[in-house]
Amino acid sequence: MRANKATRREFLVGLGGAALGIGLSGVTGLLTAHSQEKPGTPELPWPYAKLDPVAAAERAYEAYYKGGCMFGVFEGIVGELRAKVGAPYTALPTQFAIYGKAGVAGWGTLCGALNGAAAAVYLVVPPKDGDLIIDEIYTWYGQTGLPDYKPKSPKFQIAPSVSGSPLCHVSVTRWCEATGFKALSPERAERCGWLTASVAKYTVEQLNKYADKAFAVAHPIPKEVTTCLACHGKGGVKENVHMSKAVSCTQCHFSLGTKHP
Ligand code: HEC
Ligand code: HEC
């Protein structure tokens, strides 16, 4: 702590010196010294230890009521790793993930549970394989009746629904249509708590399989979507869509023009 403070003071003095025209090389030297003294954070991916999916789900459900859906999933998984592995997870302030609540600070875009899952995956799996695991989680989420995990001490009984989409808005509103509850009701909040637990559990199951070198895609991108993207995606005759994956295109584009090829 003390050493850090001293370094910081020297660094600031160094910048002042540069402003007075003492010269660039001195500043570069100080910057190098400064970065070398920074306490080390290991490079990604961080070590993963196989977790109990139910323990992660329960931790996620509890965290949901403290910081929302993204925090719930992220803390559900990283909290288990913190308990099992220790450093470097002990140094990670998972509270940053609160931003993802209700589709990013209430914007209804990406479901926060999915956002938290992807962040956790990228912490422990290299990007190329991480993307495959994210694909599996997102497609499963879109195609499965969720929530499918019931916490040990639930506040209400919750029925599942299929969202067809990774979006918070679609996921919540379809559940409201299916069950008759309002979008800002305590039942809907509880539903998202169960969903947070469900996503944490499924994510840990995928990460455990990956750790065992047994990960396999169970929910491929639907053919309907890959058909659309053959023309609208990379290299297609009408390359104007910047997404290479979806659960459904026709959920939004339900009436194409009569002249559409
Ligand atoms: C064989 C290639 C091809 C496939 C497959 C294809 N499209 Fe298209 N799409 C086009 C072309 C070319 C246009 C532009 C047509 C035009 O300008 O009249 C277009 C236009 C569109 C438009 C805007 C015009 C409209 O009709 O609403 C939408 C939306 C669209 N496509 C969505 C989709 C979706 C969703 C799918 C999959 C269900 C799909 N497309 C599959 C080639 C394709
Ligand atoms: C969440 C809803 C949603 C989903 C899912 C979605 N789109 Fe769209 N898409 C839109 C919206 C909104 C626009 C903008 C429409 C506009 O400007 O009229 C758009 C625009 C388009 C256009 C241009 C339309 C035009 O008038 O030229 C195409 C082509 C298109 N989307 C294809 C796709 C394909 C292919 C997929 C699946 C991979 C897809 N979209 C998934 C909502 C969606």
Q: Which residue's CA lies nearest to atom 33 of ligand 1?
A: 228
Before 93, cis peptide (omega within 30)?
no
Tell whether ligand 2 has an atom less than 6 A from the beta carbon of residue 226: no
Tell whether ligand 2 has an atom less than 6 A from the beta carbon of residue 252: yes
- Nearest ligand to the CA of 251 is 2
Tens place of pLDDT for every residue, the chain, 261 residues? 344 444 444 444 434 444 444 444 444 444 444 445 556 789 999 999 999 999 999 999 999 999 999 999 999 999 999 999 999 999 999 999 999 999 999 999 999 999 999 999 999 999 999 999 999 999 999 999 999 999 999 999 999 999 999 999 999 999 999 999 999 999 999 999 999 999 999 999 999 999 999 999 999 999 999 999 999 999 999 999 999 999 999 999 999 999 999
User: What is the pLDDT, as a whole number, of residue 39?
Assistant: 65
User: What is the pLDDT, as a whole number, of residue 38?
Assistant: 55
**218 phi/psi in degrees, rounded to 5:** -105, -20
Residue type, 172: V
Question: Do 203 and 77 form a contact (C-beta atoms < 8 A)?
Answer: yes
User: What is the pLDDT, as a whole number, of residue 1?
Assistant: 38
Q: Could you count the other beta carbons within 10 Å of the beta carbon of residue 238? A: 9
What does the buried/exposed string (b/e) look like for 80-115 if buried means 16 or more CB atoms within 10 Å of the residue's CB? bbbeebeebbeebebeebbebbbbbeeebbbbbbbb
Both tokens of residue 71?
Answer: 């925090």
Burial class of residue 151, CB neighbours in 10 A (0-12, 13-18, 19+):
buried
User: What is the pLDDT, as a whole number, of residue 40?
Assistant: 76
Atom of ligand 2 nearest to the CA of 238: 29
Q: Which residue's CA lies nearest to atom 31 of ligand 2?
A: 241
Report the candidate in 117, 130, 99 with the shortest Cα–Cα distance to residue 57.
117
Tell whether ligand 2 has an atom less than 6 A from the beta carbon of residue 228: yes
Both tokens of residue 197?
Answer: 């637990």
